[in-house]
Chains A and B, each alone.
Chain A
Amino acid sequence: MESLKVLWMSTGLANFELGQVIMMLVGSSLLYLAIARNFEPLLLVPMGFGAILTNIPVAGFSEVGGLLHYIYYVGIDTGIFPLLIFMGVGAMTDFGALIANPKTLLLGAAAQFGIFATLFGAIALNFVGLDFSMKDASAIAIIGGADGPTAIFLASKLAPDLLGAIAVAAYSYMALVPIIQPPIMRALTTEQERKIEMAQLRHVTKVEKVIFPLGVLLMTIFFLPAATPLVGMFCLGNLMRECGVVDRLSSTAQNELINIVTIFLGLGVGSKLSAEQFLNTKTLGILALGAVAFSIGTATGVLMAKLMNKLSKEKVNPLIGAAGVSAVPMAARVANKVGLEANPHNFLLMHAMGPNVAGVLGSAVAAGILLALVG
């Protein structure tokens, strides 16, 4: 009888707590969104599964000695996984559209207002009973950068306790870009502005593409060394892509390596989705602020593009400003789609890729600023 009792006490059924069950349902919801709705499946599948694993009673996945504990400790606590992902993203990024039309960098800069305005919003939530420190607020604000690896990197440095909620918010809203952005883009532009056709981009030579990442790195070294982990890895990946002599390394960085790291990054983030860390009012605040951050970033990008259209000799379709929030290449595709609705002959995709990759650089720079000033 005693052994039967011991056996029962070692089952999951006897040890389940309500919080664990709820978090398993949250993990299952992430799996549903990824598999049935195709929302950022590459990350949400391992993240959702990680959330289920970490909430299994008795198994101790996220305790010392557990698999997820070590994955988190080795890859995310140290910042290595997001940086490796950033290298892969660099290897996948073509800066041609940006170099051909460099003023689109200003659109990428304007869209970062979403980050800094959200920082303000997070602190404002302290007046309604939440308790966010400046580090917490900075980590939450980076969701507005619409850049998963940057958000995870900064959150792991500034607010590891909020990492799970921040990663879930960042990737959820990135998947929701086609739903969040179009109403804002339509509200801030006229039909005539959405119809604007832009001049064809000039040809960008190989030497420009090779020197560009080195120039970006040099400027980061001079002016913002705190951002060099992110920008440096990004530039390394991009240089491998463009130099043309290490195709094997470039291919590995943008395929096998980024895939392997994505599995572990997802599991590591999932390990932070435990009941005690996720089921609180702060998570609700983070989810709300994430939506605000995306919306403000989109709006300021579009408004900046409108201003550029007024001041510039060449016509600028304001829709491409929305791509400044990064979320590559989803935001550029959304700009293209909304443009096509107004003018079926107007293909904005290449023009939107300029502010889109500028947004990646902009959010990495913003993360460096927050690290330097708050970290």
Chain B
Amino acid sequence: MENHQALFLEAGTLMLAGMIFVFAFLGLLIVFINVVLVKLAKKYPDTIVKSRPTSKKNNNKTDGSINPAVVAAISAAVSQYRQQQSTQK
């Protein structure tokens, strides 16, 4: 029984020491992140790769407008198609 009580006491000490150490270790890690890593992040921010500007010849505009040249080409093709249809009849 005395042996059990001694073990119990030892377990209590271990619990106290263990929890204090875990908190101290991970607490130090918080300091490390806040002091070292945050400073490093400010000094060496991620470099953002800029996308290459689209060439003027590129017709795939993203602003929603349609290139007048494309409109003209489609209109010409449609009218040509209609003319062909009417001559066939």
Report the number of A-B residue pairs with Cβ-Cβ less than 8 Å: 112
The contact of B14 among A116, A208, A211, by CB within 8 Å, is A116
Whole-angstrom CA separation of A369 from B21 in the bound complex? 8
Query: Which B residues lie within 8 Å of A362 (CB)?
Result: 22, 26
Main SS at interface, chain A: helix
Whole-angstrom CA separation of A65 from B19 in the bound complex? 44
A105 is an interface residue with CB less than 8 A from chain B? yes
Query: Which B residues lie within 8 Å of A207 (CB)?
Result: 40-41, 44
Q: How far is the CB of A235 from chain B (nearest CB, A)?
A: 12
Number of interface residues of B (CB under 8 A): 31
User: Across the interface, do B12 and A120 meet the contact criterion of CB distance under 8 Å?
Assistant: yes
Whole-angstrom CA separation of A102 from B28 in the bound complex? 11
Kindly supply a per-residue 1/0 record for chain A positions 33-64, scoring 1 wherever the CB is within 8 Å of any chain B CB and 0 otherwise: 00000000000000000000000000000000
Asked whether A105 and B29 contact (CB < 8 A) given A123-B4, A205-B45, A207-B40, the answer is yes
B37 is an interface residue with CB less than 8 A from chain A? yes
A284 is an interface residue with CB less than 8 A from chain B? no
User: Across the interface, do A205 and B18 meet the contact criterion of CB distance under 8 Å?
Assistant: no
Kindly supply a per-residue 1/0 record for chain B positions 19-46, scoring 1 wherever the CB is within 8 Å of any chain A CB and 0 otherwise: 1011101111110111011101100111
Whole-angstrom CA separation of A168 from B25 in the bound complex? 30
User: Across the interface, do B8 and A123 meet the contact criterion of CB distance under 8 Å?
Assistant: yes
User: Across the interface, do B37 and A223 meet the contact criterion of CB distance under 8 Å?
Assistant: no
Main SS at interface, chain B: helix
Whole-angstrom CA separation of A347 from B21 in the bound complex? 33
Which of A84-126 touch B at CB < 8 Å? 98-99, 102-103, 105-106, 108-109, 112-113, 115-117, 119-120, 122-124, 126
B15 is an interface residue with CB less than 8 A from chain A? yes
Most A CB contacts (10 A, CB to CB) among B8, B37, B44 go to B37
Most A CB contacts (10 A, CB to CB) among B12, B17, B41 go to B41
Query: Which A residues lie within 8 Å of B17 (CB)?
Result: 369, 373
User: Across the interface, do A370 and B18 meet the contact criterion of CB distance under 8 Å?
Assistant: yes
User: Across the interface, do A205 and B22 meet the contact criterion of CB distance under 8 Å?
Assistant: no
Supply 13 A–B pairs (Cβ within 8 Å), ascending by A.
A99-B37, A102-B29, A105-B27, A106-B30, A109-B27, A113-B19, A123-B8, A126-B4, A211-B37, A216-B29, A219-B32, A358-B26, A361-B26
Using CB atoms and an 8 Å cutoff, list the residues of chain B in contact with chain A: 4, 7-8, 10-12, 14-15, 17-19, 21-23, 25-30, 32-34, 36-38, 40-41, 44-46
Closest 3 CB pairs of A and B: A116-B15, A102-B33, A105-B26
